[in-house]
Amino acid sequence: MDSVVCVKNFDQNFLVPLSISNRSHKVIQLPNGLLVLLISDPTEDLASAALTVATGAHADPDDIPGLAHFCEHMIFRGTKEFNDPDYYQKLIESCGGRNNAFTTGEQTSFFFEIPTKNVGNFGNQEDKDGLILEKILRVFASFFKNPLFNELSIQREIHAIDNEHTSNKISVNKILYHGIRLISNKNHPFHRFATGNFVTLYDIPTVEKLNLRENLINFYENEYSSDKMTLVLRSPQSVNQLQKFAISYFSDVGSITNKNHKNNRLNLEDFSICQQTWKEKYTTTQVFLKDETSKCIFIKRLQSSSITPTIRINFPLSYDPSANQKKIPLFTEAWCQLYGDESSNSICDALKKMGYIITLLAFKLNLAEGNDTLTLELKLTNLGYKNLDQVLKIIFKFTHNVINGNIFELGEYLSEISSIDCLKYLYEDVNKSPMSESSLYSRYLQCNLKNIGPHCLLKGSPIWHDYDHDFKGGFTESKEAKKWWTSKAILFKEFLNESTNLNNFNFVILISNDTDINSISCIKKELKSPPIFVKDNYFQFDYSIFQIDTEKLSNLDSFDKSQILYLPSKNPFLPSMVLNHSCITKELKIAADNSASSSLSFITKNHSSSIPPLLLQEGNFFQLWYKKETNLIYSSRCYLSFEIVNKSISTCLNSICIEILAELIYLNLQKTLYQSETIGYTWEILPSSKGDSRIGVTISGFSEGVELMLKIIVCELQSLISGLNEKKLDYNTLRKARVAIRTRYENIYQENGIVLANSGLIALMEENIWSLEERLNTLEELDLQNFKEFVQNFFKVDSNYLNLLVEGDIETSKVEQFSKLINKLIHHLNSSEIQLKLSEPSTYYIPKGRSYLYSTNSPPGDPSNTIVFFIQTGLRSDVYCRTLTKVLANMISTTLIPELRNKRQLGYVVFGGLRQLRKTLGLHITILSGDYKPVFLENKIFEYLQNWFVELSKMKESDFKKQVLRKFINSYLNGSQKLDSSGGPSTLTMAQRNGTGFSNNGDALKKHKIYWEQIASRSYNFNNLLGEDDIDLSLVEKVLSKQNFLSFFNEKILSSKTRSSLSLHLKTSMSEEEISKEILIQQLDALLRLKGLKIPQQKLIEIVNKSNGNLTNILKELLKYFINQGCGLKLCNVIIREIAKQLGKSLRYINSSGTKYETNNFKVEVEHIEITNITKFHKQLKFIT
């Protein structure tokens, strides 16, 4: 009771979107200083929790980079109360939940989510520990009280982190971010490597005689204090019940240093946890010093000869985070909107017209407290790279024009984006998983809440009418309002002048190995010698740092006078309510009041979504579907999808022509429709994902604007057709579309093995899906005449079928009106009386007893290996088969990650479960590994499945029903299907849809797309909002016996005589020798630097290569080199011997963990039929009819 009295309650209403205005929120502070946000949502079937600590990589000790990240991994590995290292993971997965954690420079966040519908007791029905949510919260809280940091887990987690870093080394985003570190202030913690790897977590601590576990414990005790923590609890239970959970399980978290902590903050706006934490730690506040703002870094991606040049142009922002500076986040967001604009007169528009860029993104990067960058990321064409100075000049010319432009126009623009910001937030769809949302809120709680505004906590950023007390509404609402916005425009110009100028920027650019940098004129280079590239110690890319020659960028008058660079024009898609800013703020207040009073209301789940779409009208050449929605989140909104299906034969050429058609529509409309995107509209032009001749369109947004967007798209298609007939479409236009598609294909090659392998599975198993090689070859052969003939045939009368679905706050008359609009294109309403017959593409069926293997190389420079092991269990139409397959998938998903990733350390990415193709289904297990070959991984997967069979065989019938069947039934009934499957998307063909345009991942749009997928595939299964087929639950509850299940398991999964499987192996193109040399160079470089022996990296590489990786020879050569450099013989001898001893220890350590060295001569247990020709493979199989 005393602890309840000591709990501080903060009386605060929050601005919320309409979609979550039924939730109630409460913020409390526990006696130990822990700040807690409680969220009750009685309509939700999921519960989640997140705890964020204001510590991260910037708190790493100098001699152990990656310790914060290592602590994040180790904290899960058992506590005094729950000492089993895998207990938490098993507990989460036993009820169909999931969990994760991550570490940034200044924050570490831990989170989980579980289904709650019909959740009973965990394990035994008489379990005294109570409901599963409380059980998990108890375990979760124990991590922050008494973690064991088990010595036995240290070795395993070092390898997990090293594997994670191996995966990071091929990520463009990670490479570019690390590039920013390399040109930053060397005295700021941001400059340091943050992830950690084998060298930083094992080699260096061993040589320096640092006890890693002791350092880990010290780090935890110093950093994991409760006053640095924020907690979010979210579930269908009341906020009062959640408060009891928080008090019961989290009142005693945090280290002993907080026992004297006093809760002296009176209001939420007094909290600024991150800022107060890091202000004491940083000895220097600047991430970029003045001389570092004119630096640039050129990075050559490892062994990659074909990548799109990508540049990040950074404008550093440094400010006092403790000051009341609402203008920083407001002006930053305005900058991102302005510089990221893609409409006419924008930077993006100008650069695309000149053929310099493919895409442009504008965003803020948070590097450290009080240190952000305003960042432009451009994917350059080869022409754009050669004219990099012109690209940069255009950005500065745009800035010059805005600063010197009309002050009233800028004020009105700021007013417009302010109204749009509020409107988008008001109508924001739920687009995050509960645990991701909880994690986000727990991080927002650590911000400077005075600057955000406590009522804007859930939004994460302030709104303009909080800027000061003199706010008078939108620009056009009154003279006072106009004056107010004009004054803010003046301040914004000052902000641009200070932030976006020639003396305050740097850039990071990623290029191919063979790209020449001598043609770049805006950097200062030595005249007589070529640029020197050095190898990064952690990412192993080559890089060179230069000073930017700002004088060569200062002449901004050398531009085509017809090229206008200025503010966007007035947005034609603005709903009428946007013109009145006061109206929107009033609606936001109503939603906030509804949320504040929701805990007093009786709320039940809205069942409108359970009513399936209705077939409104049908003809020989069309179907019109309609779904009325009354839920508040659909207010004034509409979701529309249609597709035109052509009867022409499916060929790779036709498929490419459809892609070209979609791309041309996108290229012609992207400027026009961009402004709709800024208000929250979405639009996609979708070429067929099935390989046949069909094109689809999806639009969502406010109902009045959706109709306008549909008219624009139909008019564009009509214009394109007439342009073909009048010979207005030229080769250059076609070339732009081809280049964009080719770039997308080439970017797929640069993806990680998971993406490539799953794409390969589709190409091998689905009819009319062509490989990337086939598509690239056809794309190169396509000419203008081929395309013209295709389009003319595609839009012939009586050649097309229309499917149309309209959903939302809209009447049936609109559906017919939309149909009439589309009729102008394909004349489906007045076609002949003969019904158009269409057939859906099918799936190849693997015969019983056939195990196929398709093997290829990973992208150049990727040291990872990938396997996708797919076992076909039967037809999707077979209810018995799909029911048992789902039971089996659910069963293995509970142990897959703990067993294969955590315990056996087979790879950094491990997942598996159900896999549905168009006509068949089965199980898959996918692993991305930096250590093991695919053949070894496959045998370990098969061994894992055999072990499961043995475990099942030992079970009593009663245990089987309780531990397997009952768990599955609970998981199925309690809504775990709302969680993203641990196996990835179960329906790959839906996940692979790759359209052009702009979309988002909101729940309402996701649901619409699932309905649409059922209509487009002619399945019409509207009951399951996962898009999966139903199962026979009575079969599981009443009929299925252990013996029947074992027979199914053995026949479909284990027996080589009856198993049907396909294994895809992506092997690294790097030899073991190359990988070993790379690791050895990295270790030697770190150890030599540690001992004060300096050697140019190129010389070290030369010695290792000359010695063919032989350690004895390498050490001899190193000794010779250092003696020649004047180092003492005795000292060198001692150091070299010490290094030799450490490398030997490292090798034994690696071998003891079961890494790649044991896999060299591994015997293959699963016999395969190798696929050497995909066409021949397809001829051996049959289609499902």
- Per-residue model confidence as pLDDT tens digits over 625-669: 999 988 877 888 899 999 999 988 889 999 999 999 999 999 899
Average pLDDT on 319-340 reads 86
The residue count for the chain: 1185
pLDDT (0 to 100) of residue 819: 96
Backbone torsion region of residue 680, taken as left when φ is above 0, otherwise alpha when ψ lies between -120 and 50, otherwise beta: left
Assess contact for 508 and 179: CB atoms under 8 A.
yes
Question: Could you give the CA distance from residue 976 to residue 119 in angstroms, rounded to a whole number?
Answer: 11
Region for residue 913 given its phi and psi (left: phi exceeds 0; alpha: psi -120 to 50; beta: otherwise) = left
Q: Where in the chain is the domain with CATH 3.30.830.10?
A: 2-279, 290-571, 607-826, 850-986+1035-1069+1162-1183
Specify whether the backbone of 1109 is left (phi greater than 0), alpha (psi in -120 to 50) or beta: left
- Of 941, 938, 1176, whose CA–CA distance to 1066 is shortest? 938
> What's the topology of domain 607-826?
Cytochrome Bc1 Complex; Chain A, domain 1 (3.30.830)
Q: What is the mean pLDDT of residues 230-251?
A: 96
**What does the alpha-carbon distance between residue 395 and residue 341 come to, in Å, rounded to a whole number?**
12
User: How many C-alpha atoms does 121 have within 13 Å on its Cβ side?
Assistant: 9
Backbone angles phi, psi at 285, to 5 degrees: -95, -10
Using DSSP, state whether 454 is helix, strand or coil: helix
For residue 913, the Cα-to-chain-centroid distance in whole angstroms is 20
Residue 690 has pLDDT above 80, yes or no: yes
Question: 359 to each of 304, 334, 399, 571, how far by Cα in Å?
Answer: 21, 20, 19, 22
Give the pLDDT confidence score for residue 244 in this predicted structure. 96
What band does 1101 get if pLDDT is binned at 50, 70 and 90?
Answer: confident
Residues contacting residue 589 through CB under 8 Å, at least 6 positions apart: 15
pLDDT of 184 strictly over 80: yes
Q: Reply yes or no on whether the pLDDT at 1163 is more than 90.
A: no
Residue type for position 496: L
Amino acid identity of 8? K
Q: How confident is the model at residue 263 (pLDDT cuts 50, 70, 90)?
A: low
**pLDDT at residue number 585:** 84
- Residues 6 or more apart whose CB falls under 8 angstroms from that of 42 comprise 22, 236, 603, 604, 605
In the CATH hierarchy, which fold is given to the domain comprising 850-986+1035-1069+1162-1183?
Answer: Cytochrome Bc1 Complex; Chain A, domain 1 (3.30.830)
**250 in Cβ contact with 34 (< 8 Å):** yes
Quickly count: other Cβ atoms within 10 Å of residue 1039's Cβ. 11
| Residues 56 and 128 sit within 8 Å (Cβ to Cβ) | no
Q: Could you give the CA distance from residue 1123 to residue 1130 in angstroms, rounded to a whole number?
A: 10
pLDDT of 548 reads 94
Number of other CB atoms surrounding residue 953 within 10 Å: 13
- Give the count of beta carbons closer than 10 Å to the beta carbon of residue 735: 11
Using CA atoms, how far residue 109 sits from 52, 56, 92, 282, in Å, is 4, 9, 17, 21
> What pLDDT, in 10s, does the model give residues 345-377?
999 999 999 999 989 999 999 999 999 999 999
DSSP 767: T
**What pLDDT digit, counting tens, does each position of 776-793 carry?**
999 999 988 899 999 989
The amino acid that residue 711 corresponds to is: K
Mean pLDDT of the region 489-506: 96
For residue range 879-896, list pLDDT tens digits in order: 999 999 999 998 888 788
Predicted confidence at residue 147, as pLDDT, reads 95
The terminus-to-terminus CA distance of the chain in angstroms comes to 68
Q: At what angle do helices 812-826 and 703-725 cross, to 10 degrees?
A: 10
Indicate if the alpha-carbon torsion angle 791, 797, 800, 802 is positive or negative.
positive
State the DSSP string of 350-417.
Answer: HHHHTT-EEEEEEEEEEEETTEEEEEEEEEE-HHHHHTHHHHHHHHHHHHHHHHTS-HHHHHHHHHHH
pLDDT class for 873, splitting at 50, 70, 90?
very high
pLDDT at 516 exceeding the cut of 90:
no
Judged against a pLDDT cut of 90, whether residue 833 lies above it is answered with no
Q: What is the pLDDT of residue 1152?
A: 57
Q: For residues 700 and 431, is the Cβ–Cβ distance under 8 A? A: no
The DSSP 8-state label assigned to residue 662 in this structure reads H
Looking at beta carbons, which pairs linking 998-1001 to residues 24 or more positions away fall under 8 Å?
Answer: 998/673, 998/674, 998/677, 998/681, 998/682, 998/683, 998/684, 999/682, 999/683, 999/684, 999/698, 1000/429, 1000/431, 1000/682, 1001/431
CA gap 913, 891 in Å, rounded: 9
CB-based contact 471:484 (threshold 8 Å): yes
Cβ pair 167, 928 in contact under 8 A: yes
Q: What is the mean pLDDT of residues 138-149?
A: 96
pLDDT of residue 696: 95
The answer to whether the beta carbons of residues 350 and 277 sit under 8 Å apart is no
Cβ proximity of 687 and 769 under 8 Å: no
What is the structure's pLDDT at 280?
Answer: 83
Average pLDDT, the chain: 86
Lowest mean pLDDT among 43-52, 966-975, 1093-1102: 966-975
Mean pLDDT value across residues 990-1013: 70
Strand partners, 31: none
User: What does the pLDDT average to over 969-979?
Assistant: 60
Supply the pLDDT for residue 1114: 84
What's the CA gap between 276 and 1073, in Å, rounded? 49
pLDDT higher than threshold 80 for residue 747:
no
User: Does residue 1134 have a pLDDT over 80?
Assistant: no
Query: Mean pLDDT, to the nearest integer, of 751-759?
Result: 81
Going by C-beta distance under 8 Å and a sequence separation of 6 or more, which residues neighbour residue 309?
379, 380, 382, 384, 385, 509, 510, 511, 512, 515
How far is residue 311's CA from residue 175's CA, in Å, rounded to a whole number?
11
If you classify domain 2-279 with CATH, what class do you get?
alpha beta
Helices (H), 44-106: 67-74, 87-94
On whether the CB atoms of residues 263 and 33 are closer than 8 A, the answer is yes
> Which phi and psi angles does 923 have, rounded to 5°?
-110, 150
What tokens were used for 1153?
């963990």
- The CATH superfamily assigned to 290-571 is Metalloenzyme, LuxS/M16 peptidase-like (3.30.830.10)
Identify which has the larger pLDDT, 1069 or 854: 854
Coil, strand or helix: which one is 716? helix
pLDDT at 209 > cutoff 60: yes
- Average pLDDT estimate for 116-144: 67
Report the C-alpha gap between 197 and 1146 in whole angstroms.
Answer: 13
pTM value > 0.75: yes
pLDDT value for 1026: 56
Please report the pLDDT score of residue 255 as a whole number.
61
Assigned token pair, 1001: 């991942």
- How many alpha carbons fall within 13 Å on the CB side of residue 1? 0
Backbone Cα Rg of the chain: 30
Write the single-letter amino acid at 483: K
**What pLDDT is recorded for position 727?**
66
